[in-house]
Amino acid sequence: MATIRDVSKLAGVSVATVSRVINGSGYVNKETEKAVRDAMKALNYKPSVAARTLAGKQSSTVALIVPDILNPFFPEIARSIEDAAQELGYTLVLCNSDNDPDKEMNYFRILESKHIDGIIIASYTIVPRQIMDLQEKSIPVVVIDNPLPGYPILSLVTKHREGARKAVRHLIDQGCRKIAHICGPLHVYSARERALGYEEVCRGQGNFAPSLIYPGDFRIDGGYEAMIRLFEQHPDIDGVFAGNDLMAIGALKALYHMGKSVPDDVKLIGYDGISLSMVVPELSTVAQPMSKMGKLAMNFLMKLIRKEPVELTIHELEAELIIRKSTSKPVG
């Protein structure tokens, strides 16, 4: 592979000059520049990232740490981040942490030794201290879906509480009188917020009871189980707000097996916007703006990397109610 020295020789200039034209730094004569560019082209020259990283420049690489790319929530984010990164000349390293703090720490070590320019992390388990450690080593970090209020940390979060309210109000608008909620693990911020949103709207209603909230695990089976249990206690439920789409799908299966018709007997809405309209009836949901979030995350990270001024705080995004078949009004 051609090196900067090869280019400098061919162009009849010094390596310093070549470096200047590569980086667009300092003064370079038009003609000299042309000569250099020609030489680069002729030699099919590509600067060695390792060398420039070592010489103090950055690695043009950022990392995305997610709990598990298998969770259908994350590929969309990964994709949009990668697109944005690509456009900015960056490369994306993918890490799966399984929400395991040890694995996370391990990644931090590796990423640091690789001179990663910045990290985008989605984690329920991360604590402010870890983020700030990174920042003190001047590794910029953007946190996704886990706000850390009171710390100088940049995070991106969907307005879950408001999204949940939208979902429940929509059910009410569709005529539901007794609405249950299958919540996610309450030690997870997003699950908690959604449950709170549900409560805020329902607590006023006559039919509200704490036992209308049943814990799921954010997975299909948990949704199934929860739905069965809820109906045992409250056979007259006519609306269900599931804490995420996977649980909604589980609930849908349970309803199907119990012989309940959706949306006629029970209206059902999920959360996340990942359902790909796979199921019948198609699931209403509250969609998180995932691709916007990915793009934004990358843009914020870029600003941090470039040391442009950014507010190190929680940035909130709107969730969008998406109405499909599973909550439509009875035809009559």
Can you give the binding site for DNA, defined by CB under 7 A?
A: 1, 3-5, 12-17, 19-20, 22-23, 25-29, 31-33, 45-48, 51-52, 54-57
CA dihedral over 69, 60, 31, 2, signed as positive or negative: negative
CA dist., res. 135 & res. 142, Å (int): 10
Rank residues 13 and 240 by Cβ distance to DNA and give the closer one. 13
Residue 271's closest CA among 282, 255, 283, 287? 287
Residue 1 touching a second copy (CB under 8 A): yes
Give the number of C-alpha atoms closer than 13 A to the C-alpha of residue 60, restricted to the C-beta side: 13
Q: Which residue has the tokens 């984690």?
A: 123
Partners of 322 in the beta sheet?
285
Cβ at position 228, least distance to DNA in Å: 57
Residue 20 interaction partner, one of a second copy, DNA, none, beta carbon < 5-8 Å per kind: DNA
Residue 278 interaction partner, one of DNA, a second copy, none, beta carbon < 5-8 Å per kind: a second copy
CA dist., res. 273 & res. 55, Å (int): 45
Q: Which of 7, 143, 144, 279 binds a second copy (CB under 8 A)?
A: 279
Cβ at position 300, least distance to DNA in Å: 24
User: Within 185-224, which residues bind a second copy (CB under 8 A)?
Assistant: 220
CA dist., res. 253 & res. 248, Å (int): 9
CA dist., res. 129 & res. 134, Å (int): 9
Asked whether 99 and 82 are in contact (CB, 8 A), the reply is no
Please give, one letter per residue, the 3-state secondary structure of 93-105.
Answer: EEEECCCCHHHHH
Residue 105 interaction partner, one of a second copy, DNA, none, beta carbon < 5-8 Å per kind: none
Cβ at position 257, least distance to a second copy in Å: 8
Residue 110 touching a second copy (CB under 8 A): yes
Q: Which of 16, 38, 41, 54 binds a second copy (CB under 8 A)?
A: 54
Rank residues 168 and 182 by Cβ distance to a second copy and give the closer one. 182
Backbone angles phi, psi at 162, to 5 degrees: -65, -40
Cβ at position 51, least distance to a second copy in Å: 5
Q: Which of 15, 43, 47, 200 binds a second copy (CB under 8 A)?
A: 47
Query: By CB under 8 A, how many residues form the interface with a second copy?
Result: 48
Cβ at position 85, least distance to a second copy in Å: 10
Residue 61 interaction partner, one of DNA, a second copy, none, beta carbon < 5-8 Å per kind: a second copy
- Cβ neighbours, 10 Å, residue 17: 22
Residue 72 interaction partner, one of a second copy, DNA, none, beta carbon < 5-8 Å per kind: a second copy
225-to-14, 238, 257, 284 alpha-carbon distances in Å: 72, 17, 12, 20
**Is the backbone peptide bond immediately before 263 cis, with ω within 30 degrees of 0?**
yes
Cβ at position 152, least distance to a second copy in Å: 22
Q: Which residue has the tokens 């390596």?
A: 15
Q: Which of 29, 205, 278, 318 binds a second copy (CB under 8 A)?
A: 278
Rank residues 95 and 287 by Cβ distance to a second copy and give the closer one. 95
- The contact pattern for a second copy, residues 130-149, with x = CB under 8 A and - = no contact, is -------x------------
CA dist., res. 237 & res. 34, Å (int): 75
How many degrees, rounded to 5, is the angle at CA 62 between CA 56 and CA 64? 155
**Residue ranges that bind a second copy, judged by CB under 8 A:** 1, 46-51, 53-54, 59-61, 68-70, 72, 74-76, 78-79, 82-83, 86, 91-96, 109-115, 137, 220, 249, 252-253, 256, 276-280
